[in-house]
Structure 1
Amino acid sequence: MYVEVNTSNGIENKETLQRWATDYLNEHLAKYAQDVTTVEVQLTDENHVKGGNDKRCMLEARLPGRTPVAVTNIAVNQDLAFRGAAEKLDRALEHALGKLDREHRDRESIRKDASVLPGQ
């Protein structure tokens, strides 16, 4: 799974942040490694110098042939914003991929009742 980290508004995008985010997401989302090709991380400081709950993390997971799954979390610091967004992404992927699995299982098989041919 490829992880791309983008920052803006006063949050420094250092190599260590990229490595840490990559390691964290690869470990935290390991069960989706076969389904997720890329996770884009966007960290921003919403009101820059004013402080408060203003660190925003948006994570977007890209799945081949499917609509991307995106979540956002806001917290007092970028670590809590990132970890909260990772938890939300885990739940969103579980829901999205579980729903696809259920839809796949619920479809009628072309092999169902193959022994009964029309007109017999």
Structure 2
Amino acid sequence: MIIQINADNNLTVSTEYREKIEGLVLAEVDRFIEHLTRIEVYLSDQNSHKDNGADKRCNIEARLKGKQPIAVSDDGETYDLAINGAAGKLSTSLETIVGKMKTH
């Protein structure tokens, strides 16, 4: 499985932060690894000219084997909060989809 991380022009993702993001996402979806081919993480700052509020956004798109991709997003005051929120939503969505796959 591939994890691809993309960021807008307001953020430079260092190697260390890239590894941290991968760890945060994998911690939430590790039990679904056999169903996934790729995960794409998109980080953006919705109000780059202002420095307040929950303006950091994380979109995560997961590609499932033989299924349409699913996408989730979350906003937070920091990128870490947005990533954790989106990864949690992804885990919930995957649990529903994989659960339905097992019953059919």
Determine if the TM-score, normalized by the shorter chain, exceeds 0.5: yes
Matched, 1:76 2:77: yes
Cα RMSD (Å): 1.2
Q: Considering fraction of residues, name the structure with more strand.
A: 2
Identity of aligned residues (%): 35
Q: Name stretches of at least 5 consecutive residues in structure 1 with no aligned partner.
A: 105-120
**Alignment match, 1:32:** 32
C-alpha distance in 1 between matches for 2:59 and 2:7 = 10
2:78 and 2:16 mapped to 1: Cα distance? 17
Measured in 2, the distance between the counterparts of 1:10 and 1:85 equals: 20
- Please state if 1:20 is matched with 2:20: yes
Q: Which has the larger radius of gyration?
A: 1
| Gap regions ≥5 residues in structure 2 | none
| Contact 1:9-1:46 at 8 Å conserved across structures | no
Contact 2:25/2:84, CA 8 A, preserved across alignment? no
Q: Higher relative contact order at CA 8 Å, sep ≥6: structure 1 or structure 2?
A: 2
Q: Counting helix residues as a fraction of each chain, which structure ranks higher?
A: 2
Q: How does 1:1-120 map to 2 (within 5 A)?
A: 1-50=1-50, 51-102=52-103, 104=104
TM-score, with length taken from structure 2: 0.91
1:7-54, Cα deviation, whole Å (9 max, x unpaired): 004111211122112222223211001101211000000110213110
d(CA) in 2 for partners of 1:53, 1:27: 23
Q: How many residues align?
A: 103
